[in-house]
Structure 1
Amino acid sequence: MNNKLSILFGLSLMLLTSCSSGYTIKGKLAGNELDGQQVMIINLATDEAVDSGLVESNSFLIKGTVEEPAVCAALIGNKFSYFVLENARIALDMEKSFNASATPLGKSFEALYTAMNQLNESTNQKLGELAPEEQQAYYENEVIPASKVLAKEHLDKNLDNTVGEFAYMLYSSFADPQELIDAYEAMGDNLKDNPQTLRIYQKSKSMLTTAEGMPFVDFTVTNAQGTQSLSDYVGKGRYVLVDFWASWCGPCLLETPNIVELYEKYHKKGLDILGVAVWDKPEDTQKKIEELGLPWPQIIDAQRIPTDIYGIQGIPHIILFGPDGTIVARNLRGEAMKAKIAEVMGAK
């Protein structure tokens, strides 16, 4: 009798274990217009699809396992919903932009998401009340500091889990390199080993070694044109404005007329321009160069080599190097870039 009870108990335990060893996502939609389409589950940190499921009768069921929890989004059509993917039962209402769960991680992400949403709503309301010429100052003086405090507060509460990873990524948009390094060093080992947080940490260290006032750090790229190095152009006795860009990058192309204007005004006075094409297909880069008729030299197919060295997380990123190769200014754009060039060329 005892043996039978032991066997039954063991079988029950196995069944319970097998039911709780993975995740089960049950989702619903308001109507059936999306029946037959796939719901994609996207990891927000890596931007990679981790699972998918078919919508039938305005609902879907997705089962699987995940090694580590992750902040994800369920996407179908023009609908999306954020949630924490973990080995648990997860209910998603695709009419909501966020679905909370009763797990500790779910509650932590709910707190972060709610705070972000409240800040966005108050920001949009305030911007609607301001004149256009007042909006930029409000954003820089009020919104960015508040966003930075919010991200750091939730990072400090989640120093060793996926919510902390998400908060650190948010924090990286507002914090300076030393603050990001300090935040990383306070993390638990699990979060320190996370590829995304480690990438931000390494880029932050790179930004410190390539900050304004530091000497340039050389890099070499081998492409169809041969071997090209930054030192072929920088540190040769002239100011050099280096534009890290890509053919698909809209904001990069918006800066092109500004750079053309600077080239035409200052090139004969001692300013060189260098384009460095990153994260792009070389044939697309070459086509765009010819289309725009860019007259300055280009280092093509550089990919991640220079952006890793200089800690560049987004493009365009424009750096001004002095005649001796010293980094004069970073992340120059628009009118601020024109003013900086006018300042140094006027002082030369």
Structure 2
Amino acid sequence: MNRKLLSIGLMSTLTLLSSVNLYGYEIKGKIASSLSGVDGKYVYILPIGAKGLNEVIDSAKISNNSFILSGADKGEMMCRLFIQDMAPGKTYSPSFLLEKGNLVATLDTFSYVNGTPENDAFSALMKKVEDTQTKLSAIPKDADTDKKYEEIIKELNGEAYKYILANPTKLTAAKLFTDLRYDLTEAEQEEILAVADAKFMSFPGVSSIKEHLEVLKNVAPGKKFIDFEMADSEGKLHKISEYIGKGKVVLLDFWASWCGPCMREVPSIKKIYDKYKDKGFEIVGISFDNKKENWMKARTDKNMNWIHLSDIKGWKSLAAPMYGVNSIPCTLLIDKDGTILQRNIFGDELEGKLAELLK
């Protein structure tokens, strides 16, 4: 071959290799012009799950609201971009998969990173989430719109669930899984974990979800309640076995005065309690408050005239890990002999079940 043609061919090949960045990552970023005063500051890459800024992977100086980050291939990891003096996780701080290839970051009131198939799919789903949340925020939330509101959220969560289940080997799916842990049913979580690979399982927070599901098996319907001791408002200690397994159907109710959904459930619970308290029904409320005065005030203001216990430790309450409670309100309906019948039962469903049990 002619040496000149060989040289030209070699240069073309090297140019092509450079353009696709086979040996590392490159992120070309643009920051919205509406965000002023960022020139001269730095953009950072921080792994999700990092314990401090000392774990920053890379940084680049911003010029004309633009930046370029590049480096050697570090393998796949979920990261965030964030701007100096702006907290990670807020606006202008997208999460993305740092991987080998050429990426494009757009930092705006909705921020995203594109350029590889996985980042493209992830950012498209995040855009749908953002658009839906913006739409919902404009809807006046009242009794007439609550149902429609919940239906839209359920549909959106369903799409995210499908993405996770279809991608059990991808870190973006693992990130969504940890984000949606409180919106997925236990059955859905089990289904996802059953097909997840080691990379998925290594994402921060996934192992704790698995551990939580193991705890729930100990307090699942059909199991006997687990006893514990806690103080009443006078400081006197009581075991919950004083009230459970003594011939009454008991609702073990985990709540707190600071929990809006808990407080919204009170009128319904009170109505049901007043109807069935003389027919063999009792409620044992376990508060996750961390201030006794708030706990007492809520009970008085709402006339919650059933049994109440608390160790005033908030989420550090000894009952939380014992019963796998990581969100409230949370209830367990327990039969007369101390057998757990159902978890997270409220409103009409609770009343219907009591009507069946306390004929």
Tell me the TM-score normalized by structure 2.
0.65
Match of 1:111 in 2: 121
How does 1:145-156 map onto structure 2 within 5 Å?
A: 147-148=157-158, 150-156=160-166
Aligned residue among 181, 184, 209 for 2:218: 209
Q: Note the alpha carbon deviations across 1:57-77, whole angstroms, 9 max, x for none.
A: 9859899x9998335475969
The alignment yields a C-alpha RMSD, in angstroms, of: 4.9
Aligned residue among 173, 179, 193 for 1:164: 173
CA contact (8 A) 2:287 2:308 kept: no
Q: Note the alpha carbon deviations across 1:222-250, whole angstroms, 9 max, x for none.
A: 89936554333321211111211122211
Q: Structure 1 regions of 5+ residues with no counterpart?
A: 1-19
How does 1:183-198 map onto structure 2 within 5 Å?
A: 183-198=192-207
Asked if residue 246 in structure 1 is aligned to residue 249 in structure 2, the reply is no
Asked if residue 70 in structure 1 is aligned to residue 78 in structure 2, the reply is yes
How does 1:52-131 map onto structure 2 within 5 Å?
A: 59=65, 69-70=77-78, 72=80, 79-84=91-96, 86=98, 92-102=105-115, 104=116, 107-115=117-125, 117-118=127-128
In 2, the alpha carbon distance for the partners of 1:113 and 1:74 equals 16
Question: Aligned-pair distance for 1:26?
Answer: 5.8
Match of 1:177 in 2: 186
Q: Note the alpha carbon deviations across 1:50-93, whole angstroms, 9 max, x for none.
A: 5899x999859899x99983354759698445232748997653
Match of 1:225 in 2: 235
Question: Aligned-pair distance for 1:96?
Answer: 4.8
- Where 1:216 maps in the other structure, the secondary structure is coil
In 1, the alpha carbon distance for the partners of 2:279 and 2:51 equals 48
In 2, the alpha carbon distance for the partners of 1:283 and 1:182 equals 40
Asked if residue 271 in structure 1 is aligned to residue 281 in structure 2, the reply is yes
- Where 1:247 maps in the other structure, the secondary structure is coil
How does 1:3-42 map onto structure 2 within 5 Å?
A: 28-31=31-34
Counterpart code for 1:312: V
- Where 1:244 maps in the other structure, the secondary structure is strand
Match of 2:11 in 1: none
Counterpart code for 1:260: K
CA contact (8 A) 1:42 1:48 kept: no
CA contact (8 A) 1:319 1:327 kept: yes
**Structure 1 residues 298, 149: CA separation in 2 closer, same or farther (over 3 Å shift)?**
same
Question: Aligned-pair distance for 1:165?
Answer: 1.6
Q: Note the alpha carbon deviations across 1:9-38, whole angstroms, 9 max, x for none.
A: xxxxxxxxxxx99998966242356769x9
Query: Which one has a bigger Cα radius of gyration?
Result: 2
CA contact (8 A) 1:247 1:284 kept: no
- Where 2:221 maps in the other structure, the secondary structure is coil
Question: Aligned-pair distance for 1:322?
Answer: 1.2
Question: Aligned-pair distance for 1:275?
Answer: 1.3
CA contact (8 A) 1:32 1:57 kept: no
Question: Aligned-pair distance for 1:324?
Answer: 0.9
CA contact (8 A) 2:27 2:105 kept: no
Match of 1:297 in 2: 308
Asked if residue 283 in structure 1 is aligned to residue 283 in structure 2, the reply is no
In 2, the alpha carbon distance for the partners of 1:60 and 1:21 equals 20
- Where 1:100 maps in the other structure, the secondary structure is strand
Tell me the TM-score normalized by structure 1.
0.67
Match of 2:17 in 1: none
In 2, the alpha carbon distance for the partners of 1:86 and 1:325 equals 51
In 1, the alpha carbon distance for the partners of 2:24 and 2:293 equals 46
In 2, the alpha carbon distance for the partners of 1:43 and 1:203 equals 27
In 2, the alpha carbon distance for the partners of 1:297 and 1:315 equals 16
Match of 1:17 in 2: none
Q: Structure 2 regions of 5+ residues with no counterpart?
A: 1-22
Aligned residue among 269, 285, 294 for 1:259: 269
Q: Which stretch of the first structure deviates more once superposed, 197-206 or 115-124?
A: 115-124
Asked if residue 341 in structure 1 is aligned to residue 354 in structure 2, the reply is yes
How does 1:304-323 map onto structure 2 within 5 Å?
A: 305-323=318-336
In 1, the alpha carbon distance for the partners of 2:68 and 2:312 equals 40
Aligned residue among 332, 337, 344 for 1:324: 337
In 1, the alpha carbon distance for the partners of 2:298 and 2:47 equals 33
Matched pairs, number: 316
Match of 2:12 in 1: none
- Where 1:297 maps in the other structure, the secondary structure is strand
Match of 1:236 in 2: 246
Instruction: Choose between structure 1 and 2: higher helix proportion.
Output: 1
